[in-house]
Structure formats: C-alpha cells, structure tokens
Amino acid sequence: MSDVLTGELAALRGQFPVLSREVNGHPLVYLDSSNTSLKPLAVLDAMNEHDRVRTANVARALHTLGAEATAAFEEGREAVAGLLGARSDEVVFTKNASEALNLAAHSLGSNLGPGDDVVISVMEHHSNIVPWQLLCERTGATLKWFDITDEGRLDLSNMGELITERTKIVSLTYVSNVLGTVNPIRQIADAAHAVGALMVVDAAQAVPHMPVDVSRLGADLVAFTGHKMCGPSGIGVLWGRYDLLASLPPFLGGGEMIEVVKMSGSTFAAPPHRFEAGTGACEYRFP
C-alpha cells in the first residue's frame, strides 16, 4: 500500500473515533455498516453542539434557542430533500425506516378492503413485510409476493399475474439487505402505475450507497433510515409525492401535527408536519 493511501486511510479512520479502539488486541475492523454505520466526528460534534448550546423543543419553543433549533431542524430537512432531488415539504421525519414503512402502510390502508391486493417480495426486510401483513389482516386485503430466482434476483416472470387491476400497493426493497441485489424499481413502478397502484420503496440500503433521485425512481413513497448512512440513530425519512401525502390521513396523533384541536374533533397540519407527532430526534445541521 502506498504511503499516500496509508495516509488517506489513516485520515479517514481518524474521522471515526470508535476505530481507535482495539478489540482482542487488534485495531477495530468494522464490517457491519449495512446493519448500522459508524458516526464520524462531524456528526458527533453536531449532536454534541446541539445539546450543549441549542437544546429546545423543535417547532414548539418560542424563545431564541427554540427558533435556532427549529431552523436547524428545517435546514436538515432541506439537506435531505437536496440529497433526493425532492421538495423539502415532501420529506417526513420518522424515527427509522421501520416507522416510515408503518406510516405508509397505516395511512395508505385507509383506502384498502377485501378484493384489493398488496404485493411485496420474499426478499424484503421484516420491516417491509410485517406492516403489510398487519394491514391486510386489518382490512381484509390479500398479501401477494414476488419470489427470487436461483441467482438471487427478483423473479419478474409472473409480474403480469401478481400486479393486476386488484393491486393497490406494491412495496419492494430497492437494495436487498441480505443479497445486495439492486431491484429494477422503475420497471416495477411503471407496471404498478399502469394498473393504478402505488409504489412504495424501502430504500434503507440504497440511499446510503447510491444516488437516489426520487424524480426518476418512479416511486410514490420512499423510506430510509439515518443510522445506516453515518447519521444519528432515532431518525428516519419517509419521502412522498406532495399530492399523495396531502391526501393521506395522519399516522400518529399528538403535538405539532394538528391545525386546530377542539374537544369535538381536530383538523390536521399540511405535510410534512401532519405525520410528525410529538418531539422527534433532532435533525442536526452538519458543518
């Protein structure tokens, strides 16, 4: 290995303080990033700085610290929107990808009933299976799934039988967390849209590793999670087309997701705040 490479690697390793640890007498080698990634100094410092000098309840504290925290939170939303080629009011903060997918299943489910199909695949992480199972149990809709080929690819040979006029939702992983397979989302989204179905994408393993431009992906909703992309734990994202988000009912009820609350009933805020009940993890403004 050249000295330059050794120097660059050392500098890169230096960005991740946990790599200065030794395990079993050896420098730590961390190969579990697809499970959860290490946090670099920039992230640790931003989190630390926030809690040291700017602690306040985002969007609910009118004092100086609250205004700063809210501005930093909304800057974080803009940064995520920029990463996805999206509008910032299409970026909903959740606590992780699982919550984003549960939000999608819950809110889309208000239109589902017996005779409707939801299509997933056997390649999914549990977070993109169980919410749809629960939804189908609740609504009487039927869950169907793509199989995989011997080479570990999505078996699209029966796509015409799986995605039909009965299909209301197709929800697939973009990149498999087990196989690394990259699925042809655009092709499947086009088939879903051709029968009037919505396309949900679990991009938890995609956004950290490849450019994901939602204007070209063909998806209606996209879920991912901060802790797999060097970000803080406890924050995730559901991106959605604005007109779709605006048509959906809330997922969780609570502070800051409302427009007007009366004892006789409540009306709800516009997206993205409609889907962000209660105090969330702070999205930190990174240097």
Q: How far apart are CA 223 and CA 108, in angstroms?
A: 14
- Binding of ligand PLP by 171 (CB under 6 A): no
Q: Are 100 and 272 in contact (CB under 8 A)?
A: no
CB 63 → ligand PLP: shortest distance, Å?
33
Stretch that binds ligand PLP, among 18-26, 71-79, 124-132, 140-148 (CB under 6 A): 124-132
**CB-based contacts of 49, cutoff 8 Å, min separation 6:** 284
Single out the residue of 37, 167, 173, 181 in contact with ligand PLP (rule: CB under 6 A): 173
Q: Which residue has the tokens 């007007």?
A: 260
- Binding of ligand PLP by 204 (CB under 6 A): yes
- Binding of ligand PLP by 121 (CB under 6 A): no
CB 223 → ligand PLP: shortest distance, Å?
7
CA distance readout (Å), 142 to 154, 167, 191, 249: 20, 9, 19, 22
**CB-based contacts of 41, cutoff 8 Å, min separation 6:** 15, 16, 17
Element (H, E) at 99: helix 97-108
Beta strands in the chain (DSSP E): 22-23, 26-27, 91-94, 117-121, 142-146, 167-173, 198-202, 221-225, 236-240, 258-262, 265-268
> Using CB under 6 A, which residues numbered 67 to 106 contact ligand PLP?
96-98
Stretch that binds ligand PLP, among 134-142, 155-163, 199-207, 237-245 (CB under 6 A): 199-207
DSSP 70: H
- Binding of ligand PLP by 225 (CB under 6 A): yes
Nearest to ligand PLP of 56, 185 (CB atom): 185
Nearest to ligand PLP of 69, 100 (CB atom): 100
Beta bridge partners of 262: 265
Stretch that binds ligand PLP, among 78-86, 144-152, 198-206, 240-248 (CB under 6 A): 198-206
- Binding of ligand PLP by 125 (CB under 6 A): yes
Nearest to ligand PLP of 116, 283 (CB atom): 283
Single out the residue of 102, 121, 171, 177 in contact with ligand PLP (rule: CB under 6 A): 177
Residue 104 CA neighbour count, 13 Å, CB half: 38
CB 14 → ligand PLP: shortest distance, Å?
27
Residues of this chain that bind ligand PLP (CB under 6 A): 96-98, 125, 127-128, 173, 177, 202, 204-205, 225, 227, 236
